[in-house]
Amino acid sequence: MKVLIIGGGGMVGRKLALEIAANGLNGRTPSELILFDMGHPEWTGAGAPELAVGELHAPGEAQRLAARRADVIFLLAAVVSGDAEADFDKGWDINGRATWTLIEALRREHLDSGGGYRPRLVFTSSIAVFGGPYPDRIGDEFLTSPQTSYGATKVLGELLVQDHSRKGFMDGISIRLPTICVRPGKANLAASSFFSGIIREPLNGLEAVLPVADTVRHWHASPRSAVGFLIHAAGLDLDRLEGRRALNMPGVSCTVAEQIESLRRAAGNDAVALIKPRPDETVARIVEGWPRDFAPERATSLGFAAESNFDEIVGIYIREDLDPAKRP
């Protein structure tokens, strides 16, 4: 079994690779593990995966990757939401056209193989496919009406995965990730970055800016859950999706105030005091358009699982990503 992770140098991609290298993929040990990204941090895990460097949207790159004929392909690479909003062409070219080019190239491999090559493609979509107004809890049959280019290109990826799978060119699934929290490392250009920042920075002894009111409710899952979703999606019998190949993933719905109380329980008042409210109307307006809560019944019934409260999410960051010397 050959496994390819496109975006394997990113935060979730690297964690996924470490997990597969350590424990295999749904009980099987890959014969090859290929990580593709614009760059890679030093490999510190088991085995010696191939660390391929390139840009998916560069001419010929998607075709070269498809020609590797991986049995399982995780597509995680994307321009993040804030970046895609700032640069319209970049967002549509990389998240939209490059995804299409890759999926087309995989179809070409399928056809060239006489139909024998039919990869499992796990496409990481996002709750950014939705747009308000929302019901209290978003069900599995709620419309997609994206209010960002990032969200629109994620729907495009879902459409391509579904139609190519329906035709038998591949066997694909799109999983709509909650906001991944707590992200280790630095803040990124995603407008959701502060949801991680207000937990991560105080645990590292740093100040964190809170640009929205603490009444804001949002939908979260840990990086570990994201890895779990991806692995589960890679092994699932996709006939069970009955033709609807995009799935809302489970997560934890909580307010910023509840997030802060989780931090307080884990690290005390001094940590909480490092959170500095600094209202930012631009961020507040973007976040106001985001989903607050879901009822992800299909995913749950198919065996996808996330944390059950935000305390667990904070605990996972502390155990898995925080410098042990800084543990509260």
Annotated catalytic residues are: 150
Per CB under 8 A, 288 contacts its own copies: no
Site for its own copies (CB under 8 A): which residue of 1, 46, 67, 159? 159
Q: How far is the CB of 103 from its own copies (least distance, A)?
A: 10
Q: Concatenate the DSSP letters of all residues of 12-26 into one string.
A: HHHHHHHHHHHH-BT
User: For residue 133, is the peptide bond before it cis, meaning its omega torsion is within 30 degrees of 0?
Assistant: yes
Q: State how far the Cα of 11 lies from the Cα of 77, in Å rounded to an integer.
A: 11
Site for its own copies (CB under 8 A): which residue of 146, 178, 197, 291? 146
Site for its own copies (CB under 8 A): which residue of 54, 87, 137, 144? 144
Q: State how far the Cα of 72 lies from the Cα of 25, in Å rounded to an integer.
A: 10
Per CB under 8 A, 291 contacts its own copies: no
User: Which amino acid, 5?
Assistant: I
Q: State how far the Cα of 192 lies from the Cα of 283, in Å rounded to an integer.
A: 9
Residues 49-108 interacting with its own copies (rule: CB under 8 A) = 88, 92
Q: State how far the Cα of 297 lies from the Cα of 313, in Å rounded to an integer.
A: 21
Select the span of 145-153, 179-187, 188-196, 249-257 touching its own copies (CB under 8 A).
Answer: 145-153
What's the distance, CA 24 to chain centroid? Answer: 20
Nearer to its own copies, 10 or 157 (CB): 157
What are the beta bridge partners of residue 37? 53
Chain position carrying tokens 């925080």: 322
Nearer to its own copies, 163 or 297 (CB): 163
Q: DSSP code of 96?
A: I
Q: How far is the CB of 52 from its own copies (least distance, A)?
A: 28
* Continuous segment of H or E residues that includes residue 111: helix 98-112
Q: State how far the Cα of 75 lies from the Cα of 90, in Å rounded to an integer.
A: 18
Q: How far is the CB of 7 from its own copies (least distance, A)?
A: 22
Q: How far is the CB of 69 from its own copies (least distance, A)?
A: 20
Q: How far is the CB of 213 from its own copies (least distance, A)?
A: 22
Site for its own copies (CB under 8 A): which residue of 63, 147, 188, 300? 147
Site for its own copies (CB under 8 A): which residue of 162, 165, 222, 262? 162
Binding site for its own copies (CB under 8 A): 88, 92, 131, 140-147, 149, 152, 155-156, 159-160, 162-163, 166-167, 243-244, 246
